[in-house]
């Protein structure tokens, strides 16, 4: 079996080595697109290239475009999984990738999709977005199994992560463009934006202007509801409890605001849908979130 792990990077010189080490395996090809980093990331990758069997590319790109470029350079007919170069991955990532199953959505906060290269490209690969590019990508892919497993941890995906890319007015412009990308890729209605205001996926500090611009530019529409709801419906309906993995890594975490949004959009309590798929889960309410898991060991692991 041929495996390919791929990703894109910009200005992550302090994290790339640990990230690559965590996904490395002698059976894998690792393909990385560098967006012309200015902090020494490219030079660091060159140092690591020989030891970790890296295929290194450079392209001025968004996260989506960079991942797409890397994916297209994976070996033909390979089983692929994407990774973030500001994250460290654990053995669960490798166990499930090497199960040789495909069409798998995997993760809790740190996500990936395991699929055949050619099939992924058949559905359009990755589009040219800088945020929520993974949600837009995933909603188009075939998902047969969703494993709610902690596979790694990264710097939290807040706007502060973007401060390493730009500062001052450039940072404000970048965040505005990111908001437009999010609205375009998620296909939110105006009512959705208002409903999400206080959830983890809401654009709390941004005006409605990015949404208007997104509508003018055009949104990615794949159904009669927003793409986040479509994706979560697909994930929940394919949830499975994975074998051979400690229960401390298995569970789901949903922000209360988003839980209410999703339940309303699906016309059914999300709790019921999840427990129908994995009855052994219990529900814990902590930190304005709902944790679906077997014990509080998962919560400890998630928050560590």
The CATH number of the domain holding residue 141 is: 3.90.550.10
The boundaries of the domain holding residue 143 are 3-154
Q: Which of the two residues, 208 and 253, has the higher pLDDT score? A: 253
Same-domain check for residues 146 and 284 = no
Contact 53, 121 (CB under 8 A): no
Closest CA to 68 of 114, 21, 134, 20: 134
Same-domain check for residues 25 and 108 = yes
Q: Over 70: is that where the pLDDT of 283 sits?
A: yes
pLDDT, residue 158, reads 41
Quick one: average pLDDT of 228-256? 98
Q: Over 60: is that where the pLDDT of 171 sits?
A: yes
Contact 22, 46 (CB under 8 A): no
Q: Over 50: is that where the pLDDT of 205 sits?
A: no
Tell whether 241 is covered by a domain.
Answer: no
Q: For 83-145, where are the alpha helices, taking DSSP H only?
A: 91-97, 117-122, 133-140
Among 108, 138, 154, residue at a domain's last position: 154
Same-domain check for residues 76 and 102 = yes
Q: Over 50: is that where the pLDDT of 157 sits?
A: no
pLDDT, residue 131, reads 95
Contact 247, 278 (CB under 8 A): no
Closest CA to 114 of 87, 76, 141: 141
| Separation of alpha carbons 208 and 181, rounded Å | 13
Same-domain check for residues 180 and 293 = no
Same-domain check for residues 114 and 204 = no
pLDDT, residue 267, reads 96
Tell whether 52 is covered by a domain.
Answer: yes
Same-domain check for residues 184 and 276 = no
User: What would the pLDDT profile of 16-65 be if each residue is shown by its tens digit?
Assistant: 999 999 999 999 999 999 999 999 999 999 999 989 989 999 999 999 99
pLDDT, residue 194, reads 84
The confidence band for 159, taking pLDDT boundaries of 50, 70 and 90, is very low
Among 129, 154, 179, residue at a domain's last position: 154
Same-domain check for residues 195 and 277 = no
Q: Over 90: is that where the pLDDT of 252 sits?
A: yes
Tell whether 140 is covered by a domain.
Answer: yes
Residue 302: strand, helix, or coil: helix
Task: Determine the distance from the C-alpha atom of residue 131 to the mean position of all C-alpha atoms in its chain, rounded to a whole number.
Answer: 10
| Separation of alpha carbons 214 and 207, rounded Å | 12
Closest CA to 253 of 300, 212, 208: 300
Backbone φ and ψ for 173, nearest 5 degrees, come out as -65, -40
Tell whether 186 is covered by a domain.
Answer: yes
The DSSP output letter for 127 is -
The confidence band for 172, taking pLDDT boundaries of 50, 70 and 90, is confident
Same-domain check for residues 73 and 174 = no
Q: Over 60: is that where the pLDDT of 162 sits?
A: no
Contact 141, 71 (CB under 8 A): no
Tell whether 234 is covered by a domain.
Answer: no
User: What would the pLDDT profile of 95-108 be if each residue is shown by its tens digit?
Assistant: 999 998 999 999 99
Cα R_g (the chain), whole angstroms: 19
pLDDT, residue 109, reads 87
Which residue is associated with the tokens 């993995």?
245
User: What would the pLDDT profile of 125-142 be if each residue is shown by its tens digit?
Assistant: 999 999 999 999 999 999
Q: Over 90: is that where the pLDDT of 145 sits?
A: yes
pLDDT, residue 193, reads 87
Tell whether 231 is covered by a domain.
Answer: no
Q: Which residues contact 236 (CB under 8 A, 6 or more apart)?
A: 146, 270, 273, 274, 277
Tell whether 224 is covered by a domain.
Answer: no
Q: Over 60: is that where the pLDDT of 5 sits?
A: yes
Number of domains in the chain: 3
Among 116, 138, 154, residue at a domain's last position: 154
Quick one: average pLDDT of 157-173? 65
pLDDT, residue 168, reads 81
Cα-Cα end-to-end distance for the chain: 34
Same-domain check for residues 7 and 128 = yes
Same-domain check for residues 192 and 99 = no
| 111-116 and 54-58 beta bridge pairing | unpaired
Bridge partners, 115 (sequence order): 80
Tell whether 236 is covered by a domain.
Answer: no
Mean of pLDDT over the chain: 93
Q: Over 90: is that where the pLDDT of 8 sits?
A: yes
Contact 80, 28 (CB under 8 A): no
Q: Which of the two residues, 164 and 287, has the higher pLDDT score? A: 287
Same-domain check for residues 87 and 163 = no
Contact 31, 2 (CB under 8 A): no
Same-domain check for residues 149 and 163 = no
User: What would the pLDDT profile of 57-74 be if each residue is shown by its tens digit?
Assistant: 999 999 999 999 999 999
Contact 98, 23 (CB under 8 A): no
Q: Which of the two residues, 193 and 275, has the higher pLDDT score? A: 275
Task: Determine the distance from the C-alpha atom of residue 135 to the mean position of all C-alpha atoms in its chain, rounded to a whole number.
Answer: 7
């Amino acid at each position: 079996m041929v495996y390919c792990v791929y990703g894109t990077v910009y200005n992550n010189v302090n994290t790339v080595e640990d990230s690559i080490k965590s996904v490395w395996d002698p059976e894998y090809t690792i393909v990385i697109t560098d967006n012309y980093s200015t902090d020494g990331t490219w030079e660091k990758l060159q140092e690591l290239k020989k030891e970790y069997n890296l295929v290194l590319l450079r392209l001025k790109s968004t996260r989506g475009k960079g991942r797409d470029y890397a994916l297209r350079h994976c070996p033909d007919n390979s089983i692929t999984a994407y990774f973030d170069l500001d994250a460290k991955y654990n053995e669960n990532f490798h166990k499930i990738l090497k199960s040789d199953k495909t069409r798998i959505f995997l993760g809790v906060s740190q996500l990936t999709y395991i699929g055949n290269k050619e099939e992924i490209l058949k559905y359009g690969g990755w589009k040219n977005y800088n945020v929520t590019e993974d949600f837009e990508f995933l909603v188009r892919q075939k998902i047969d199994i969703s494993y709610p497993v902690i596979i790694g941890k990264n710097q939290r995906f807040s706007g502060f992560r973007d401060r390493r890319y730009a500062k001052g007015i450039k940072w404000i412009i970048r965040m505005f463009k990111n908001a437009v990308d999010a609205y375009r890729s998620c296909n939110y209605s105006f009512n959705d934006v208002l409903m999400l205001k206080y959830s983890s996926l809401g654009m709390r500090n941004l005006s409605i202007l990015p949404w208007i611009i997104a509508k003018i530019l055009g949104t990615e529409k794949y159904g009669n509801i927003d793409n986040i709801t479509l994706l979560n419906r697909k994930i929940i309906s394919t949830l499975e409890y994975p074998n051979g993995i400690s229960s401390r890594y298995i569970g789901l975490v949903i922000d209360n605001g988003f839980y209410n949004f999703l339940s309303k959009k699906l016309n059914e309590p999300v709790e019921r849908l999840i427990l129908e798929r994995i009855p052994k889960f219990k529900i814990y309410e902590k930190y304005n979130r709902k944790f679906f898991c077997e014990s509080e060991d998962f919560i400890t692991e998630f928050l560590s």
